[in-house]
Amino acid sequence: MGVGAAASSGGLMTAAAPSAASGRYDFKGPVAISSRNGTAAVRRAMEEIQAGADALDAVVAGVGLIEEDPDDTSVGYGGLPNAEGVVQLDASVMHGPSGRAGGVAALEGIVHASQVALKVLRRSDHVLLVGRGAQEFARMHGFPVQDLMTEKSRQRWLRWKENLSKDDEYLPAHDFDDATIGQAEGWNERHWGTINCNAIDLSGNVSGVTTTSGLAFKIPGRVGDSPIIGAGLYVDNEVGAAGSTGRGEANLESLASFLIVERMREGDTPEEACLYACRRIASRTRPAYLLDGNGRPRFNVQFYALRRDGLVGGAEIWGGRGQFAAADSDGARLVPLAYLYEAS
Ligand code: GLY
């Protein structure tokens, strides 16, 4: 679909789809991109790349700054906890040159989940470790175990807990067509923060990482899209990389990062491919409680993609003011995300 054309979303009521202009962000060389919260991460990743680092080491170094930032409540230390007040982290990494991936899910007590995912990739024959096993593996490699709750995140959790009856993730028995389920006040303002960061290094190799504390106040044990290769992250060294933030459940049901990379392989620009994934999710979302009065998703998902030649782009379902971070040898900047529907 061309820029600004009407969105085709499988029978849903659609609006014109304004978009950032495809092709404006053609970096033609080493570049790092991330979700909006990653300006420091892409800057750091580019410093590493300029010093000769592999793209995978560079992006993991970059997101490490966000994982240890107590003020970012979407990831690592200070991430918002699950319903029981325990911070459970998900992360994945994927390395273009080797085609290998590593991930951890529902990992407790380790600040740098992305570094543990990297150890899974480099020091095990597995791809995904979860829960206690992931923590034991991290301890084996010398990661300290600590409480990840900050006073800020504890206070946020407590407020949620005290208002639980109107705001939880447990759905009562309901008809599939019951549009009132889950529509308690503030439901669609739930917190799905995450950081995805992808880069091309001096050798032209592509890698990526996605790391998160996941959906705030989730049911303990819930795993989102971030650690699932093909959903929260996908890299193909011949094509490029894609990753996501936002409602992980929608992405888990569409494997959109894999979809985006495959669309780029077929000739889509990164932005076109990201918009395609947004339309796919919008057209496949059926439960009434997830749709607004016009049949559009009541949640948001963002995608970020880069092509092996340096072209970058991103899109989200609901937007207008959304941005992502990008950095090259000229430094870091925020660039607009394309979008499917304009948020009011
Ligand atoms: N996209 C992050 C999550 O849903 O956990």
Beta-bridge partners for 240: 236, 307
Instruction: Please give the pLDDT value at position 73.
Output: 87
Structural domain contains residue 17: no
Q: Is the pTM of this model over 0.85?
A: yes
2: pLDDT strictly greater than 70: no
Q: What is the mean pLDDT of residues 314-336?
A: 94
- What pLDDT band is residue 155 in, cutting at 50, 70 and 90? confident
Structural domain contains residue 101: yes
Structural domain contains residue 3: no
Cβ atoms 66, 113 nearer than 8 A: no
Pocket of ligand 1 (CB under 6 A): 192, 194, 212, 214-215, 224-226, 245-248
Structural domain contains residue 224: yes
Structural domain contains residue 191: yes
DSSP summary character for residue 172: P
- Specify which of 49-63, 165-179, 185-199 reaches the highest per-range mean pLDDT: 49-63
Which CATH number do you get for residue 107?
3.60.20.30
- What pLDDT band is residue 159 in, cutting at 50, 70 and 90? confident
73 is catalytic: no
Structural domain contains residue 149: yes
Q: Which residue has the higher pLDDT, 28 or 274?
A: 274
Nearest CA to ligand 1 atom 5: 214
Cβ atoms 226, 90 nearer than 8 A: yes
Ligand 1 atom with least separation from CA of 249: 4
Q: What 3-state DSSP class applies to 252?
A: helix
Enclosing H/E stretch for 49: helix 39-50
The pLDDT tens digits of the residues spanning 185-207 come to: 554 455 667 999 999 999 999 99
Q: Which of 39, 194, 211, 212 is catalytic?
A: 194
Question: Considering only 68-82, 105-119, 122-136, 218-232, which range has the smallest mean pLDDT?
Answer: 68-82
Structural domain contains residue 37: yes
The pLDDT tens digits of the residues spanning 203-221 come to: 999 999 999 999 998 999 9
Structural domain span for residue 256: 25-167+175-342
Question: Considering only 122-131, 214-223, 230-239, which range has the smallest mean pLDDT?
Answer: 214-223
Exposure string of 27-65, with b = 16+ CB inside 10 Å and e = fewer, is beebbbbbbbbbbbbbbbbbebbeeebbbbbbbbbbbbb
Structure token pair of residue 16: 């014109």
103: pLDDT strictly greater than 80: yes
Structural domain contains residue 99: yes
Beta-bridge partners for 129: 104
10: pLDDT strictly greater than 60: no
**Checking DSSP bridges between strand 331-336 and strand 89-95, what pairing results, if any?**
unpaired
12: pLDDT strictly greater than 90: no
Between the alpha carbon of residue 267 and those of residues 33, 97, 270, the distances in Å are 20, 21, 9
How far apart are alpha carbons 78 and 254 in whole angstroms?
Answer: 29
How many residues are listed for the chain in this entry?
344
Handedness of CA 58, 59, 62, 64 (dihedral sign): negative
- What pLDDT band is residue 109 in, cutting at 50, 70 and 90? very high
Ligand 1 atom with least separation from CA of 222: 5
DSSP summary character for residue 291: B
Structural domains in the chain (count): 1
Which residue shows structure tokens 């793209």? 55
